[in-house]
Structure 1
């Protein structure tokens, strides 16, 4: 089962390709992180009216698209195990390392979670003579569980 790409995402990606832009280019023009901009494109984040206007102006798209980018999205990939090899690897990483990561976080911070709301994610390229490496940096605010 493949993930359905929303029509607006296809429109945004086509306009980005037509302009020959990367998400890093858009980061420079919009003043927001490239991963966040990609999340807006894929309807996993919403933009403010000003951000949506900047995005659509740069891409040459109309106000109707800008309005859609400000709407609260339905987030997540759905209940299926992802089949895209790159996305599946992140799923696999959590299957293998999820409990160890959770345990280390609890040892360092106590009983709580890492926010996915007060959160940033950066993707960097590390050059390596044995083959370039992908460096993913996740940073989320620690949220302790409340006692009542």
Structure 2
């Protein structure tokens, strides 16, 4: 392990995930289509790699209320904390905020009118869409596919 990697690992342990990711850019994870197919279930592949959407109300994460973090199912990057989650009534796990630097957005015209689509900043996996009808303090609703997430409860 080189000195820079060692210092980064030490800092991650001392500062914690949220603070440390602000200090260094995320290293991108780039895999071939075949590698993604080996890593993901067919349903996860359709959502994360082909920008699909799961049916409303189908995710077990809608009923997840424990403390913890929601990670990208493609690369395990923490995207949301449980404190950011709220019940939107839409049928998809929804969050009013995200872990800074861990999501990237782009404009999506698939339904004719423009929407803001968001992806994992590390692996580019499609997560969902963000809307401006959420609760305070942000007024945003980060509407996520449950299959694109893995919940990690706090210890």
Same fold (TM over 0.5): no
| Larger-Rg structure | 1
Structure with the bigger RCO (C-alpha within 8 Å, sep 6+) is: 2
Per the normalisation by structure 1, the TM-score is 0.24
Higher strand share: 2
